[in-house]
Chains A and B, each alone.
Chain A
Amino acid sequence: MTDAQGPQAGSLLSVEGLTKLFGSFAACNAIDLSVAPGEIHALLGENGAGKSTLVKMLFGVLQPSAGEIVWMGKPVTVTSPGEARRLGIGMVFQHFSLFEALTVAENIALSLDPKIPLAKIADEAATLSRAYGLPLDPNSHVADLSVGERQRIEIVRALLQNPKLIILDEPTSVLTPQEADKLFETLFKLKAEGRSVLYISHRLEEVQRICDRATVLRHGKVTGACDPRTETPASLARMMVGSDVASVEREAEPSLGEVLVDVKALSVAARTPFAVPLSNLDLQVRAGEVLAIAGVAGNGQGELFDAISGEYPVTDDQSIRLRGRPVGRMGINGRRLLGAGFVPEERHGHAAVSDMSLSDNLLLSRNQSDRKAFLTGGMSGVIRHGVIRQATQRICAAMDVRKSGEDPAAGSLSGGNLQKFIIGRELDRQPSVLVVNQPTWGVDAGAARRIRQALIDLARAGSAVIVISQDLDEIFEVATNIAVISEGRLSRPYPAGELSLEKIGLLMGGVHDSSSHAEGAHAH
């Protein structure tokens, strides 16, 4: 370590002028970074800032186009993940690199010395996972495990190699708050042992809570290095986004019109063993109103979205009314034709087909509701590509969707840009009712602001908007009224101004405002 020169002396890992070019596009542009032993170092940045590309180079998955990686004072070339592991670098990927058909022990064995017998690996994994508070059964199949448990496998796998540096790529994006707290405890344990952690995130509050230092990336360049604990969220966000994140504009007292969405005594049995049954749900949304539905993940949000959108129609036709029409048994296209728009939770595979172009994705969701505009030739339904391409460009311009090329595949867009496109695809129809599930999940601050503003503008123009979200900041930013869902039951709506964080926390925990809810339920 002593032969290191310059200001990085004593650091575990330092990176100088690291650059990765994809064609002429610099995903990483002359990045400088240094990580000291025993520190939790944050790599902050919006989606598409180059964080993942940078760590892939550190882990040997990608080869840098230029620049130097110095590990424990010696310049190294990391040619493969195996080489990175030999050096003492472990990595937990954002999208897990696990094998669902294999057992936990087999998954771990794949990255270890082949001479170690499987039984020994299983034992060690079980011991280690207990020691770090990450309980795991080494003989269970990955296919049977929850997302949180899968992440534990990745962490245990990295730890078994006794790494000096562990890289975590957006680890909390798939975790519940409780699981995230457990993860942080593990990270502190690692830090106490003198290991370093490179923690990639775009969640400012997390970074402030657990990280000692932060390096901020924007458009592939380092825009700042700081101690996150001495910064404010606003100053961190400024480094990430480049300009101050303007808060959304809204009127104080929106004027509400007629009831556009009317759900009465909606009950839905659980479709699968993992689903939450909905029981006796009431909600009304008026023109000009944004109703936000808050709640901890897995309390019936997805099921509620399925019922209101018609993805899974319900048995009682009268229990859901859109613009006065009973639609409970109507499918999603029928409801779209009534002027409703829907944005489901998962971008990839649900809201969009990743391998298809944006214009194809537009046509897929709107070929029935906009049949007259997009198709011609009567029954034969010939696609009018010109019109659809124009509409795609219109949506991209309206929502500031940044993309490479005229009409790229949906999967090639960053999460934030794809989400803007998906929301824009619905807004383009000027729906009188819009239902959105987790509108800004995993989306960078700039895109999130754009999306929230669009939702508020839509309501202001006289539509009814339902936003289902776990993000309380988002909820308070957009909502006229807030209802809380817990174990498949919905609280009565509260005007956003009247609801304190404390009160909403109680409601999320399942303490219902029983008197008013019961009255509402028995009223008819």
Chain B
Amino acid sequence: MLEAILLTIITAATPLVIAALGELVTERAGVLNLGVEGMMIMGAVCAFACSYLTGVPLLGVLAGIAGGAIFSLLFGFLTLTLVTNQVATGLALTILGLGLSGQIGESFVGIPGVKLQPIIIPFLSELPFVGRLLFAQDITFYLSIALVVCVGWFLFKSRTGLKMRAIGDNHGSAHALGINVIRTRYLAVMFGGACAGLAGAQLSLVYTPQWVENMAAGRGWIALALVVFASWRPWRVLAGGYIFGAVGILQLHAQAFGIGVPSQFLSMLPYAVTIVVLIVISHNRRTTLINTPACLGKPFVPDR
């Protein structure tokens, strides 16, 4: 029973962690992309379509990543090259993604999909309890953990990551230092799109292997909240992703057991907790400065 619940929590948390990590990198570079939900659903439909048409779910994963990244490029072009308002463009991207994916996926509705098969790691998967939980998962789970490690190393140990954080903190100074702000931001936006796409692929290939319109069901928004909850730190995204995932799953179980917590209250929790985190971060100037990318959402036009 416990194992079953934990397994569902892992499956629920994985797309949140992946999408939030992508958005974390985007926001660390100073770009606020509210289109996560839209990129995720585009990833989901591309992944489903590709795996259904080719019969190879791994190709579907790649298609999801590519779909999210290409879709985010539209956001990048609008906000970075044409310098449109990031908030409005991000919202538009979500709306466009929901509509476009519905259009693309129309013929796939109701068709059973191909489930991404787990990769069972020899020996480790035979460990009691944790073996089944952690070492007999599909590739998206392994990727989510690897991404946390890699993004954490990249942002805080590598020089390129330092440059990215510098851009997010003060793009004018970064430009003056000769860092290519626009190019770095394009890459960060595309990484965010690729991650959202991968998260979407997990939804349509692992979580519920089929195509349902609007199947991201607000997970993109939870991922956005998760980035703030984690105060822009990758390891906290992992922890937060599992807390938010668990809340979602427990909500279902609570209903099944007839525990008298209104489901609305539980589905509200991630956002409420995020607000609490925001209050804690912004209670003084120092924690705000050190924790939040100061240039988040601000347009950048080089003065030349």
Residues of A within 8 A of B (CB): 60-63, 80-83, 93, 96-102, 106, 109-111, 114, 141, 143-144
Contact = CB atoms under 8 A, between A and B. Distances in A.
B178 A143 contact: no
B166 A110 contact: yes
22 contacts: A61-B303, A62-B304, A81-B176, A83-B178, A97-B170, A97-B172, A97-B177, A99-B165, A99-B169, A99-B170, A99-B173, A100-B169, A100-B289, A100-B294, A102-B162, A102-B169, A109-B159, A110-B174, A110-B177, A111-B177, A141-B290, A144-B286
Given A63-B304, A110-B163, A141-B290, A101 B169 contact: yes
Contacts, number: 66
Interface in B146-205: 159-160, 162-163, 165-166, 169-170, 172-174, 176-179
Interface of B is mostly: helix
B15 interface: no
A82 B165 contact: no
B293 interface: yes
A114 B159 contact: yes
A109 B291 CA distance: 20
Contacts of A101: 165, 169, 289-294
B162 to A, nearest CB: 6
Given A62-B304, A97-B173, A109-B159, A102 B178 contact: no
Given A81-B176, A81-B178, A93-B176, A99 B166 contact: yes
B228 to A, nearest CB: 15
Contact of A97 (B162, B176, B286, B289): B176
Contacts of A96: 173
A99 B29 CA distance: 13
A198 to B, nearest CB: 17
Query: Could you say which of B173, B179, B291 has the most chain A C-beta atoms within 10 Å of its C-beta?
Result: B173
Contacts of A80: 178
Given A110-B163, A141-B290, A144-B286, A100 B170 contact: yes
Contacts of B293: 101
Contacts of A109: 159, 162
B179 A98 contact: no
B177 A81 contact: yes
B28 to A, nearest CB: 10
Contact of A102 (B165, B172, B179, B292): B165
A73 B285 CA distance: 49
A30 B98 CA distance: 57
Contacts of B294: 100-101
A100 B162 CA distance: 13
Nearest to A62: B304
A106 B169 contact: no
A337 to B, nearest CB: 33
Q: Which 5 A-B pairs have the closest CB atoms?
A: A97-B173, A82-B178, A114-B159, A143-B289, A99-B169
